Amino acid sequence: MEITNSPPFSIPKLYHFNKQSQEAGQSKGQLVGLPNDTVSISPEGRQLAADAITHEPAKYYGTAEINGSLTGLLADKDPKVGKAVYTIIESNFMPDGTVSKEEDRAALLEAGLAQAQYIADHYMNGEESSQFMDTMNQIAAIAKTRTVDPATGQASYTTPADRPAGAPEDYVSAGDLLKRFEPDTYTKLQEAITGGGDWGSILIGFAKRVPQHTDWTETYLKEEKDLAASLKNTKHDNRFESADTSDLAAFTKGMKDLIQSSVSGNRDLLNRNLQYFAHILK
């Protein structure tokens, strides 16, 4: 099972641009890969009883900031904590197509936030707890941007653009600019790469056009700043917020009671999810 922010094809190389290079009429820059925010998750075994399977969740990346936060927070924790965290992301925040009803997806996401709070209360110190919940809330906000391609059934999520460590503040991937401002050219690039066409001439042609459109970078950076702020400031109403996190038994009982009283959809789905969460942390 795999969650990936990688494209479904191999991108040889692309330039990145920054504001200074565009103003100077240059197209030099670090060579970077073309990003893609598609999430692909295999459906096998997700809804089986907790004691019937052993499943290792994929490690969600998201952005360098999100990945760095989770990696740092979980570095010195018991492996079961990391497994529980990535299971929440995979099974609660971004479940695969087997969970088709929006009411069930919403209930899973809220249950996942409650599970994250249990982890924060028991496995993180004060500062870690705050950072962890900020990160998990951001991932939950990304999860709410989900759209599904009607032709392929593939789910995708709007994720802030990734800026490599050490890159300037005005870093912009050429692939992101291409996708945003010349979507038809972006499609042609995909087709050329997957079909063995002349992708190089497409990239070179685009690179030559970028310096003539300094407004592209300015617009793109503003949109990305607004998106990042929106995701970080998203508030999540949570019917499971009152669940007792004093210990695992109390949490499990409280969650079951809340599932029974507040969920009108697939309660079995929520109870199996809760059972597996408790199973991981025992």
Q: Which residues, 6+ apart, have CB-to-CB distance to 73 below 8 Å? A: 124, 128, 131, 132, 135
Classify residue 268 as exposed, middle or buried by CB count within 10 Å of its CB (0-12, 13-18, 19+): exposed
> What letter would DSSP give residue 92?
I
How confident is residue 52, by pLDDT bands cut at 50, 70 and 90? low
Q: How far apart are CA 205 and CA 187, in angstroms?
A: 14
- Percent residues over pLDDT 70 in the chain: 81
Query: What's the rounded mean pLDDT across residues 234-254?
Result: 97
Burial of 93 (C-beta count, 10 Å sphere; 0-12/13-18/19+): buried
Cα 84 from Cα 56, distance rounded (Å) = 10
Amino acid identity, residue 182? E
Q: How many CB atoms lie within 10 A of CB 174?
A: 21
Q: Which of 45, 42, 14 is nearest to 30 (CA)?
A: 14
CA neighbours within 13 Å on the CB side: how many for 133?
A: 20
Name the burial class of residue 144, with classes exposed (0-12), middle (13-18) and buried (19+) by CB atoms within 10 angstroms of its CB: middle
Q: What phi, psi does 17 have (nearest 5°)? A: -125, 150
Give pLDDT tens digits for 213-226: 999 999 999 999 99
What counts of helices (H) and strands (E) characterise the chain?
A: 11, 5
Residue 33 scores a pLDDT above 80: no
- pLDDT tens digits, one per residue of 128-143: 999 999 999 999 999 9
3-class SS of residue 27: coil
Residue 242 has pLDDT above 60, yes or no: yes
The yes-or-no verdict on residue 259 having pLDDT over 90 is yes
User: Could you tell me if 101 and 265 are in contact, meaning their C-beta atoms sit under 8 angstroms apart?
Assistant: yes
CB 126 within 8 A of CB 120: no
Which of residues 87 and 148 earns the better pLDDT score? 87
Per-residue pLDDT at 53: 57
With CA atoms as reference, report the closest residue to 231 among 101, 137, 146: 137
Check residue 19 and give its pLDDT. Answer: 54
**207 in Cβ contact with 193 (< 8 Å):** no
What backbone torsions phi and psi does residue 55 show, to the nearest 5 degrees? -125, 130
